[in-house]
């Protein structure tokens, strides 16, 4: 296939316009190319050369044979306050490695935030439940709920925790109520999960608070 000079120039502009770093290095560690984004992220790259932190994982590859298969190589490196995912391609005809670095800092921060948020119901001492209002099944119980109501998974929405909830499910709108279970009183907040038949229930044990209020009223 014949490629015109115009096509070559157009294709050559791709790495230059890439907002993420693109580099080429030889197997002896010489940097033969870096795009504009590389210069922006790593202004000290030319000074440090192959000792730069961006090559911390790749330096191991350079000690191996030129014929090593690096097409499936993928790693993550931290440089300053950025996290990069790196992918390598071997240009065997030129004895070069092409390195694509994707800035995944924001994605990693979001994943970390989501992981931290996911711990909240797990660590909550009061029952946290998700239930399907159509099937009556329990889709999630936190450890606090499993410890206090081990029979809930078998009884499902027939459990006493749902006595007041079932009376107020229509219309489909978030609400709160109180329910008595055995000798305890729970304040419940119910949230409908959008685009699903699920509700999330936070049950807060307010027994002591109610008893205190009654004692104060008698006084």
Written as tens digits, the pLDDT of the chain (219 aa) is 555 666 655 556 677 888 999 999 988 889 999 999 999 999 999 999 999 999 998 887 776 644 556 777 889 999 998 999 999 888 877 888 899 999 999 999 888 887 776 667 888 889 999 999 999 999 999 999 999 999 999 999 999 999 999 998 877 789 999 999 999 999 999 999 888 999 999 999 999 988 888 887 776
Burial (CB count within 10 angstroms: exposed 0-12, middle 13-18, buried 19+), residue 20: middle
How many distinct helices (H) and strands (E) make up the chain?
8, 10
| Model pLDDT for residues 52-70, shown as the tens digit of each residue | 999 998 887 776 644 556 7
CA–CA distance, 170 with 167 (Å, rounded to integer): 8
Residue 142 CB neighbours (<10 A): 19
Q: Which residue is it, tokens 């922006």?
A: 40
What does pTM read for this prediction? 0.55
pLDDT of residue 115: 75
CA–CA distance, 34 with 189 (Å, rounded to integer): 56
Residue 211 sits at the vertex; the CA angle it makes with 205 and 212, to the nearest 5 degrees, is 105
Q: What is the dihedral of CA 191, 192, 198, 201, to 10 degrees?
A: 10
Residues in the chain: 219
| Model pLDDT for residues 17-52, shown as the tens digit of each residue | 889 999 999 888 899 999 999 999 999 999 999 999
């Amino acid at each position: 296939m014949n490629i015109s000079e115009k096509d070559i120039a157009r294709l050559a502009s791709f790495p230059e316009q890439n907002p993420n770093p693109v580099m080429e290095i030889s197997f002896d560690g010489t940097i033969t190319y870096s795009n504009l984004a590389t210069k922006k992220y790593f202004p000290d790259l030319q000074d440090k050369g192959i000792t730069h932190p961006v090559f911390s994982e790749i330096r191991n590859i350079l000690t191996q044979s030129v014929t090593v298969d690096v097409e499936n190589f993928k790693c993550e490196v931290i440089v300053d306050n950025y996290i990069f995912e790196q992918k390598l391609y071997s240009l065997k005809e030129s004895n070069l490695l092409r390195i694509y670095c994707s800035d995944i800092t924001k994605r990693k921060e979001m994943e970390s935030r989501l992981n931290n948020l996911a711990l909240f119901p797990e660590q909550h001492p009061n029952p946290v439940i998700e239930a399907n209002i159509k099937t009556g099944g329990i889709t999630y119980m936190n450890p606090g709920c499993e410890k206090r109501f081990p029979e809930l998974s078998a009884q499902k929405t027939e459990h006493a925790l749902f006595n007041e909830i079932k009376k107020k499910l229509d219309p489909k709108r978030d609400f709160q109520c109180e329910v008595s279970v055995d000798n305890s009183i729970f304040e419940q907040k119910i949230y409908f999960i959008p685009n699903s038949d699920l509700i999330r229930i936070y049950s807060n044990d307010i027994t002591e608070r109610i008893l205190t209020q009654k004692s104060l009223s008698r006084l």
